[in-house]
Amino acid sequence: MGKIVEVVMARGHPRVTAEHQTTLMFTKDREVGFKGDCIVGVLADKGAAGLRDDMKSALKSGAGVKITIEAGGEMEEVRAFGHPLLTFTYPKDLVIRKSRFTCGRTLAVGADKAATDLSKALVAKLRDTSTKVKITIEVGD
């Protein structure tokens, strides 16, 4: 399997707190609720169901995945893994988890970072509605 790369674009939001200790999430929704402490990007151009078939297959193989989050000149990498039980059925969200829990919105599990682990400089950019957020998902060599 060669390298598979997919890019998701999202936007910042003033209610991004990035305080969740086990997950981070991007959503197609426009708003962040007061309890949405894992949400780090809104207005995403795709959710789990919208990923390309080759990316879904690669992630279902359990392969390692690198997720790069870029916003306003700041960048952070998250390392995680796919899992055979990933279903990619949820159309609105992409969730990266430290745990091994899977559901229709899960992109990857066993992550080395959650929302609370992101740098303060990146989180500051993610709180700005004018910030474009680029999420690059890479699997393979």
Domain residue spans of the chain: 4-139
CATH class of domain segment(s) 4-139: mainly beta
Distance CA(93)–CA(135), nearest Å, equals 13
- Tens of pLDDT, residue by residue, the chain (141 residues): 689 999 999 999 999 999 999 999 999 999 888 789 999 999 999 999 999 999 999 999 999 999 999 999 999 999 999 999 999 999 999 999 999 999 999 999 999 999 999 999 999 999 999 999 999 999 987
Q: Which residues are within 8 A (CB) of 137 and not within 5 positions of it... i.e. 6 or more apart? A: 5, 6, 7, 8, 51, 55, 65, 66, 67, 107
Distance CA(114)–CA(23), nearest Å, equals 5
Tell me the pairing of strands 93-97 and 106-108.
parallel
Distance CA(69)–CA(86), nearest Å, equals 22
pLDDT the model gives residue 1: 63
pLDDT the model gives residue 19: 97
